[in-house]
Structure 1
Amino acid sequence: MTSSQLEGAATTTQVAKDMLRSGRQPRDYGERMIYNNYVVMRELKRWLDKPLTPSSIFEIHRKLTEGTLENPDCAGRFRLPTEDIVIEDERGRVLHIPPHADELAQRLQALCDFANESDDGEHFIHPVVRAIIIHFQIGYDHPFVDGNGRTARTLFYWSMLRSGFWMAEYLSISSILRKAPAQYVRSYLYTETDEGDTTYFVSHQLDVILEAIEGVHQYILRKQREQSAAAALLKPGSRLAQQINHRQRAILLNAMKNPGKRFTIEMHRKSHGTSYQTARTDLLGLVDGGFMNQSREGKAFVFFAVEGLQKKLNS
């Protein structure tokens, strides 16, 4: 989500989460960007045992940009000599001129060769640094008309996961980059103006990764606190414990955290990996218990918390 938002997707995180959980199709440009990113991140694992090739990068780019480009024919191919671009700031000042289109095939093949090198070779490069350099090079070369940033960050994750850093699947570097995009841009500029010394970019990205790891730890702590709160609501012998199960408890906690949020049967089914009938029974049970209301939007039923839910639960 944040990788797309970094590139201009205006969809809010909550709306994007609801879209992905409910399984509905994207409604606009921003949602399509997020949906494409989601699909590609889910598919990365099928590329982990294969060497990186220009063809696989084209496939990744095509999936990332499907339905988001002004010219759909630009997906999954190099930019053409007539499509040479420059990177400018908001004032129109030129910050970076990527290599000419005629050089892109050779440069991308060299990048693939670098990405596929063994980490135990004669010239050792730490796999995290290798992943960061892959990220840098796609952004620097700008081989595509659009979608270069999303492709670069996706290949970073591919390289990290391929090297055994399984926790990378749960790290959101884009959420960190989004908070300080100017630092992201400067790390490229410092490298370019200092004879291609990528130390600037590597240092910046290492800081980003560390902050993203801390974000995961904070997320885990937050979830643990939520579980403790849920356990308190369902303490043995309480009347509430006899009325709801752990999935219904998760819904109520989610509703308290996100006032006004709508829930659907399909969203609940996907979140908990259960059957449609079980998800339906869970939500209708909360309606019968007086915790949620039910209405219809189009063909789907939607559920939302009653007013004063927290007070009702506490009582």
Structure 2
Amino acid sequence: MNKEQPFDTVMRVLQDPAFARAARDAIRDYVARDELEGYPGPEMLTTAQLWDVLSTVRKLAATTIPIAVASGEQVWYTITVEGRHCLRAIEHHCRSDSRLHQMVQRRSGQRFLVNAQVQEAIATCQVDGIEGSSREFERMLHQGRTPTTPEERIVKNTYEMLGELPALVDEDFSPELVRHLFERTTHGVNLAETPRIRTELRGVPPVFQGLVKAHRPSRLDSDPMQTDESASEALRQICDYANGETGDPRESIAVRGYMLMAAVGYWRPVPDFNGTVARHMLRLLSAKHDFPVLGYLPTSVMTRRWALGEMDADAVRYSRIESGRYAAGGIDATAEILIHLQLTVAAINDLCGRIRSTKVEDETLGRMLHTSERLNYRQRDLLSHALRRPDAEFTLREHRLDHRTAYSTARADLLELVELGFLCQETRGLAFVFTPSPNLRERLSAAAGETAEPTSGEHDATEGACV
């Protein structure tokens, strides 16, 4: 019997229906290494062999990142069908001419922009190990209060940087620019006295932590001199990649930004807060390429939720990722890229959902009030919050800062609501404090010419629309 020739063996594998199904799924949707266990593949291949063959086939159409890991291995990825759907959604919603961006830029949409930036600044710092109450950080930023702790100063610096990045759009990425981002992030802070969570993966985006842990050698942590030399060269490569001087020119800006964050987290080219610096680099890259929404979208919030296991199962493909995988002569980051794309779309949907639900609240409140035409969106926003939180307290300072309006405007807003009977006013020290009227619901119903309904055991009609 003649021995089968190599060509015949290859063709027999390629023509095997089981292999064809596996190859189609791997190329279209990605199949992780552990998902191949029990997969109906061709009988002549083991699971490990099938993984290697599929990876080799997929890499033929892969994008390779021009920043190698310490071993010299290259990181590569492919975009799945779901990934392409995500990229179309990002293209549709994140450009400067998108409806979402135009809506957020309007005066009435500033509240969504501010809230998104506040949440993103806090979540970004938490990736770098900053601990503290998110609620207190939010209060500090919304009130414009001077930071009293190193943690608050880092968060405040990160938030302020969101407004300063547009001034850097015309500058090329360079080691000097990256160091500026680091120095601005840590301005006024003694890093040695800043309490944080100490882990080897601090500053690494959660989605990429498995890959970094598997492929970053311990010598990068234990040998400062070698780390400095390696990181300096890596930083040069990172800047070249960010400037588009290397890499695939057709690569999505969103994906390039994710890979920049992964590379900075891996090499840690600045003394500390590499995660925060990397996130600023992504925002700046987005602004440079006309994707402003990516710059303020709270994707760090979604990434943190994913890491804590709080994302809906249908929002992302994987709730966790196995440690970094060698495949076809490199490191396959397809799963990480897919999850980042899905988390970005989840952030878009969350922001759009908040805008829609707020619109419903405004419309509902408007229908309840015949006087709605004389109440502005700031007053409607406050009344909506008051309906949901009868124990809420409001001050002129908070109202002014929340809506970025003048003191006189904020004062007029609140005093008019007092005159209408919707708020109560009291003096505490030298400040006025406003609280919802005990019978706010009845007063709103009366203003709308309706009969007030009992409030006991009921939920406000707008509660279901709140996010």
TM over 0.5: yes
Instruction: Note if contact 2:393-2:433 (Cα within 8 Å) is conserved in structure 1.
Output: yes
Secondary structure of the 1:304 match is: strand
Given that 2:366 and 2:372 are in contact with CA atoms closer than 8 Å, whether structure 1 keeps it comes out as no
Task: Pick the structure with greater CA Rg.
Answer: 2
Compute the displacement of 1:226 (Å): 1.6
RMSD: 3.3
1:56 aligns with 2:177: yes
For the 8 Å contact 2:179–2:270, the answer to whether it is kept is: no
Amino acid across the alignment from 1:126: S
Q: Structure 1 residue 292 and structure 2 residue 423: aligned?
A: yes
What letter is aligned with 1:231?
A: G
Letter in 2 for 1:190: G
Query: Are 1:102 and 2:229 matched, yes or no?
Result: yes
After superposition, what is the alpha-carbon deviation per residue over 1:97-148, rounded to whole angstroms, capped at 9, x for unaligned? 47422222221121111101169x8753222221111111111112234312
Paired residue type of 1:11: S
For normalisation by structure 1, the TM-score amounts to: 0.78
Offset from partner CA, 1:10-69 (integer Å, 9 cap, x none): 2234x4343323222123344333322211111121112211111221221222233555
Q: 1:163 aligns with which of 278, 289, 298?
A: 289
Partner of 2:161: 40
Q: Secondary structure at the match of 2:304?
A: helix
Where structure 1 has 5 or more consecutive residues not aligned to the other structure, the ranges are 74-84, 89-93
Which TM-score applies when normalising by structure 2? 0.55
1:202–1:287 distance in 2 versus 1, CA, 3 Å: same
Q: Note if 1:199 corresponds to 2:300.
A: no
Are residues 57 and 285 of structure 1, via their aligned partners in 2, closer, same or farther at CA, if it must alter by over 3 Å? same
CA contact (8 A) 1:138 1:148 kept: yes
- The structure 2 residue matched to 1:9, chosen from 126, 131, 137, is 131
1:80 match: none
Work out whether 1:190 is the aligned partner of 2:299.
Answer: no
Q: What is the CA–CA distance in structure 1 between the aligned matches of 2:298 and 2:331, rounded to whole Å?
A: 27
Paired position in structure 1 for 2:388: 257
Deviations 1:71-114 (A, max 9, x none): 279xxxxxxxxxxx9449xxxxx945474222222211211111
- How many percent identity over aligned positions? 27
Say yes or no: does 1:279 pair with 2:401.
Answer: no
Code of the aligned partner of 2:291: F
**More displaced 10-residue stretch of structure 1: 56-65 or 264-273:** 264-273
Q: Number of residues paired by the alignment?
A: 293
Deviation of 1:231 after TM superposition, in Å, equals 1.6
Q: Which moved more, 1:240-249 or 1:198-207?
A: 240-249
Mapping for residues 125-204 of structure 1, pairs under 5 Å: 125-181=251-307, 189-190=323-324, 195-204=330-339
Contact 1:191/1:201 (8 A) holds in 2: no
Which residue identity does 2:236 align to in structure 1?
A: Q
Instruction: Map 1:61-72; keep pairs closer than 5 Å.
Output: 61-67=182-188, 69-71=190-192
Q: Matched residues in 1 for 2:405 and 2:200: separation?
A: 49
Which of 325, 345, 350 matches 1:210? 345
Equivalent residue in structure 2 for 1:221, among 335, 356, 371: 356
Cα deviation for residue 270 of structure 1 reads 3.4
Contact 1:191-1:199 within 8 A present in 2 as well: no
| Contact 1:22-1:264 at 8 Å conserved across structures | no
Which whole-Å CA distance do the structure 2 matches of 1:128 and 1:306 have between them? 47
Q: Which amino acid aligns with 1:41?
A: L
Q: Aligned pair in 2 of structure 1 residues 45, 290: CA closer, same or farther (>3 Å)?
A: same
Query: 1:290 is aligned with what amino acid?
Result: G
> 1:273 offset after TM fit, Å?
4.0
CA contact (8 A) 1:188 1:200 kept: no
